[in-house]
Chain A
Amino acid sequence: MKKGETQLPILIVGVISIVLLLYLFGILSPIADGVRALFLPVQRANAFVMSALGFHGTGHNVVELEKRAKDLEARVSTLSVDYVKIRSLEEENRHLRETAKFLQNSTYDHVGARVISRSTDLRDSYLVIDRGSNDGLEIGMAVVVDDGVFIGKITQLYSRISRVTLVSDEQSRVAATKAGETKLLGVVEGRGTQLAQMTLIPQNEPLNPNDLIVTAGIEEKIPPNLVIGIINRVDSKPTDPFKIATLEPLSLRDRIDLVIVLRPAVLRPEPGL
């Protein structure tokens, strides 16, 4: 073996040992943040290019997605008709106005972010966004897409990037209720597929397919009335204390390129600071 060849492995092992030590003592974090900041523009550009080229991620092909989108659109239309029948026109208008203007009416500030990476495994549904603690984000904050549909919450963050765990992830849990109600109805749990499950619904609560499910707002950083999805099926046995419902999230994870993170207004940085 040549002299140079023996020296390099020793050098690499030395560098790795030093990096490991620095990592264990937490000295490496500012350097890691610096390197991340260096590469973040490249990641953003990559994500932009991929979105522009029509690549949005995994799981479905375009034909299947279009079919699903049409199906959802049809169901939303049916839902709207049902609402007209059930509620008065005035109440419905108020609700729609509230949904459309939830950002202005709520006490929540918002931060826009671009998706720079995403999971390729449906069981582990997450997105990586290009905003982090430097932008005022915190763990547990709600993430919505531009029309106000709740897609998940922040579960891990660095100074410049964060991980958003989606509603359909196996580890996701969100307190939820029916649209138009204020009390907690159940918990929306991910199933590791495109679907989610609403559990712990009391037997005496009426719940039907095509009911709209929204956030309950009992979690500190998640505002109420953010649309999560539509009930697909309700499973109920008279002997069980709770009902279970299958929920179809309204956001297609394969189509998410830009998201909005909601943060309580009290966390908004003061001007001039």
Chain B
Amino acid sequence: MSFQRRSIFIAFFACCIALYEVGMRTFFPIPYAYFFPSMGIICLGLFRRWNEEVLIFAFIVGCLHDLFSFHIGFHFVGFPLLVIFLRFVSLNVMTNRSLYSLIAMVLLGRYCFWIWETFWIWIGSIVMNNHHIYISWSELWRRSLWDILFVSLCFLIPLFIQKIFRLRRKSMDNYGSVF
């Protein structure tokens, strides 16, 4: 598939995910309402080294988050910056491509983004006198648990499928390395 076609597909996918997060998600009862798939998708994309696609995805998701929220968040800047930061981390800090490093990455992303959101809510309350509630610790760790569950399933299910249907060479380990 050409990059242009892929980009259109990613843009559509990003719109679906963003609309779910800003609308449909809020209709689910707690704790299901704390499931934000975008962070997991970003980390999985970076893990698979789909860097360009992830950047486009992050930008579109960020734009839609901004359009449907009532506080300053600059998500359209925050999400791509997060992608760049996570990519830097994955290239320079992560030593392997295991499930554990993926979980570490998604947690890092979730907490960094929480700092970004909290900072802008704080700025909004000072500059524009908007009184928006900060994201609480309880909500943050619940979001994190969903992230861990989501990336773990997305990591393990393809591995199991490959194992069951014998799509993987016997000389490959669980992480795709040939030995």
Residues of chain A touching chain B, judged by Cβ–Cβ distance below 8 Å, are 4-5, 8-9, 12-13, 15-16, 19-20, 32, 35-36, 39, 42-43, 46-47, 49-51, 55-61, 116-121, 123-124, 126, 128, 156, 161, 163, 170-171
Contacts and interface: CB of A to CB of B under 8 A. Distances in A.
Contacts of B112: none
Contacts of A161: 68
A16 B74 CA distance: 10
Contacts of A119: 26
28 contacts: A4-B52, A5-B52, A8-B52, A8-B55, A12-B55, A12-B56, A35-B63, A39-B15, A39-B19, A39-B64, A39-B67, A43-B68, A46-B23, A46-B24, A47-B23, A47-B27, A49-B24, A55-B29, A57-B27, A57-B28, A58-B26, A61-B29, A118-B27, A120-B26, A120-B33, A120-B139, A121-B133, A156-B70
B131 A171 contact: yes
B47 interface: no
A37 to B, nearest CB: 10
A117 B67 CA distance: 13
Contacts of B26: 57-58, 117-120
Contact of A12 (B27, B59, B70): B59
B70 A20 contact: no
Contact of B30 (A46, A59, A116): A59
Interface of B: 3, 15, 19-20, 22-30, 33-34, 51-52, 55-56, 59, 63-64, 67-68, 70, 74, 76-77, 80, 84, 131-133, 135-136, 139
Chain B interface, >50% SS class: helix
Contacts of B76: 16, 19
Contacts of B68: 36, 39, 43, 117, 128, 161
A35 B67 contact: yes
Nearest to B71: A156
